[in-house]
Amino acid sequence: MGSFTFNGQRRSYLTVLRGRKRPGWAPIRRNILTVPGLSGGLNSLPDIEPRPLDIPVFIEAENMTDLQLLKEDLADWLITDDPVELIFDDEPNRIYYAQVDGSFDLDELVYYGTGVISFICPDPYKYRTAEAVGYYNQETLQSGILIENTGTLPTPPMFEVELKDKTTYLDIIGEKDYMRIGKSESTEEAPYEKYQKVWESTPTMTGWASASYVPDGGVKTGTISIQNGDFVATDYGTGSAWHGPAVMQSIGSVLSDYYFRVFFNVSSNHGQITRCEAYLLNTSGQPIGKLVALVRHASSEVEVEVNIRSGGKSTYFVNQKWKFRSFLGYIDIEKVGTRFTAHVAQQRVENGEILTSEKYAFTFNDLNNEYQEDLAAVGLHIGANNKNTPGKARFRGAEVSSVNQQENGVEYIGESGDTFTFDHKASRIFKNGELFMRKDFGARFFELAKGMNTLVFNPAETIDHVKVRWRDRFK
């Protein structure tokens, strides 16, 4: 009689019985407006309600004790926080996005049980299991592209646009709607690059020298080396408090306005103490700030810090426990005049790509001009504490850019190699895996209409290729 796949998993002990309730379409509730003195009523747009699915099942166990354990396994498998993919064996080319609803009561005998699993689909529609994919190079984009939605309903697409040149805007124009990010240049507003990279670390110790500064609260001792492309401490030396190696490198410029981003990989097991500190250094090689990820408690919580300083003054405008037990992510700081902005971002590895999962912003305004020293070099310190065993403490890389503020100009939003992803189902835009919601006011996330769709991408000459993905949707 078959079974089903839920959230990518199956159970060999479960079989679907006859009598399932799988409606042919999602429930429709008509909204009829009645008007006094008017016969009948006026038809308005209907409400499409969540689709219920009641599935009778047979569960085979070895004995009554095993049956109770299988019920626990079912709960672990089927109870999810969000709707996930549900595919039935007798409808293998359709996906429902479902989650269990209500309770599950079994009629139990010694070796088996029967009952009804109730699913609810907040998204009331079905989707084709095979995702449709279209790939279009610059030549085919020049005259627009055709996409056929063979479902019975409009469906939201996903566009991945990779650039081959700089641009201040991107347009995706449909027959009735359009999406735009950025702004088109004009004769009154010349394009400019807001960020100009001036320095970037490489996976080598070439160019690094022993630091002229002393790491906060400790001593400089030990050695930093490269392992698998990361900066790691291969020797921490010894010390009664914080101790470990520290190095520095000139960025080749002296910047009053700057952007500094550092990539970390910091975590620990219970009882391990560790820290990674990336220092901003002035022309004398002394700290004017730092970006920190550390574990200072035996309970292994990761903490993140952003500090700025000058002379005897010091301010931590980010100083908190991180919400994740390990920190694979980055911290950055941007200075523009008296305004400092920092970001802390958690990342993840997905299909070989590093994507940003969550990102938080923090600001500080230097109203009294107390933290206005120029940035000339950067430093890296990896530390252990006393005789405690250090945890994982790695720098994955760092970069510095100058910040260009230009009046009456239009900023470039991307350059060659950048990829913009437009997720029209989730209403999100990403640049190289990070949220980028600089959407034009009148633009909107649209759907592919049923049948043929004509799409135009502008400016086509700046685009290397476009990948379009969608699933045909059904009532």
* Cβ atoms 293, 304 nearer than 8 A: yes
Sign of CA dihedral 185, 191, 195, 200: positive
Report the sign of the C-alpha dihedral through residues 14, 20, 23, 26, in that order: negative
Sorted by where each begins, the domain ranges of the chain are 4-127, 131-190+411-474, 195-403
**pLDDT-derived band at 408, boundaries 50, 70, 90:** confident
Task: Report percent pLDDT > 70 for the chain.
Answer: 99
Q: What is the pLDDT of residue 322?
A: 92
**57-60-66-68 Cα dihedral, nearest 10 degrees:** 20
Give yes or no for residue 438 having a pLDDT over 90: no
Fold classification of 4-127 is Elongation Factor Tu (Ef-tu); domain 3 (2.40.30)
- Report whether the peptide linkage leading into residue 50 is cis, meaning its omega lies within 30 degrees of zero: no
Q: Look at residue 187 in the predicted model and tell me its pLDDT.
A: 66
Indicate the pLDDT class of residue 323, thresholds 50, 70 and 90: confident
SS3 295: strand
Q: Mean pLDDT, to the nearest integer, of 120-136?
A: 94
Amino acid sitting at position 392 = K
What kind and span of H or E run contains 71?
helix 64-78
The answer for residues whose C-beta is within 8 angstroms of residue 175's C-beta and 6 or more apart is 449, 453, 454
3-state SS of 77-97 is HHCCCCCEEEEECCCCCEEEE
Maximal CA-CA distance, the chain:
92
pLDDT at 33 over 90: no
DSSP state of 241: S
Instruction: Give the model's pLDDT for residue 39.
Output: 81
Q: Give the pLDDT band (50/70/90) at residue 110.
A: low
% residues pLDDT > 90 (the chain): 75
pLDDT tens by residue, 240-273: 999 999 999 999 999 999 999 999 999 999 889 9
Task: Kindly tell me the number of DSSP H helices and DSSP E strands found in the chain.
Answer: 2, 40
**Inter-CA distances, 34 with 31, 47, 208, Å:** 10, 17, 79
Residue 272 near residue 383, CB atoms below 8 Å:
no
SS3 412: coil
What is the CATH architecture assignment of 195-403? Sandwich (2.60)
Q: Does residue 457 have a pLDDT over 90?
A: yes
pLDDT of residue 469: 96
DSSP string, 353-410: EEEEEEEEEEEEE-TT--S-PPEEEEEEEEEEETTSPP-EEEEEEEEEEEE---TTEE
More confident residue, 351 or 223: 223
Residue 214: the pLDDT is: 95
Average pLDDT, integer, range 357-372: 95
The two domains 4-127 and 131-190+411-474 share their CATH topology (first three levels equal): no
What pLDDT is attached to residue 85?
96
Q: Looking at the DSSP assignment, which residues form a beta bridge with residue 330?
A: 263, 345
Q: Which CATH architecture has domain 131-190+411-474?
A: Sandwich (2.60)
What are the angstrom distances between the C-alpha of 133 and each of 14, 142, 466, 468?
34, 19, 10, 6
Whole-number pLDDT of residue 362: 97
Taking 70 as the threshold, does the pLDDT of residue 179 lie above it? yes
Q: What is the per-residue pLDDT for 376? A: 98
Which residue has better confidence, 19 or 138? 138
Q: Tell me, what amino acid is at 472?
A: D
Paired sense of beta strands 94-100 and 51-60, if any:
unpaired
Calculate the average pLDDT of the chain: 92
